[in-house]
Structure 1
Amino acid sequence: MPKDLNENVCDDEIFAGIYKKLSKDLLGFLYYKFNGRADCNDKMQEAFIKLWDNCRTVSPSKAKAFLFKVASNMMLNELKHEKVVLRYAKQKPKDINIETPQYLLEEEEFLKKYQVALATLTENQRVAFLLFKADGKSQKEIAEMLGVTRRVVESRIFNAYKKLRSSMDEFK
């Protein structure tokens, strides 16, 4: 391929010839070196773009080495970036509250009312209600845990709802 040492890759025919000759080899190199990552094709294309951007400084005889080095470096940079992203993803973010102060105040007031309303329930109603709502247990599971029938559990939960609705406007 080398005709003249002063030639560069900027000629369309020379660039097209290099692309046809080296694109499959470069893609295979990236694919096998980086375990078949999905972005190998993108990095191969980007390497050819960089070759075109630097076409005045790269001779056709050095194009292969340029492409393979540039593509390999781009993949390595991508891997380094992914490691940084993973490292920061593992870190627990600081507690940031985006709720308004009014919302936080209303939430606090609701929780206080809820605690007071729960205290008005009988122990059997409170246990059945919290197992059902907070723990997500089925009525059948609660009945087995408490040693009563499912119908009794259903009645306790219903009566708990009834008392909570009467004492808290938020439950209506």
Structure 2
Amino acid sequence: MSQSENSVCEKKVFNRLFDLNSESLRNYLYYQCGDLQQAEDLVQEAFIKLWNNCKKVLFEKARGFLFAVAKNAFYNEVEHQKVVLKYAKQPQKTAETETPEFKLEEKEFMDRLQNAIAELPEGQREVFLLNRMDQMTYKEIAEFLGVSQKAVEKRMHKALVKLRKTIKNI
């Protein structure tokens, strides 16, 4: 049976779509919002919409459908996410399991890295994380975002330059 004959409404096919796409979709949303729980909730919403529209969505278009639905749901929550991100940047208290020096160095580095990534303009941050964390090619990112591959290359170059400068100067 070829993929074009797969019905998204079949439980086995739907489960395979979930296995193939849920992690990268969650990661993409997490990169956007900075809140793992919200990212997971948005993934669930996207898969529920896919299930509710399974007769209308071809197997080959399911990934694009999921990402489009999730992206739109995220944009509907952007204002709420600004508050969540502000809270997430506050230092969190943890149990003492490692040496204080190690914890301090790790926290300082992670703070620098997260702040540097968070300070990137949205387009640069999105391209950087999709490429570096989800291993998407520039071509895949361009298709996903609906921009030219040249635009993706330019955003990545600017992101890398800014990250190097920001982390080096801290």
- Shared fold, TM over 0.5: no
TM-score of the aligned structures, taking structure 1 as reference length: 0.43
Q: Which has the higher contact order (CA 8 A, sep 6+)?
A: 2
Structure whose CA Rg is larger: 1
TM-score of the aligned structures, taking structure 2 as reference length: 0.44
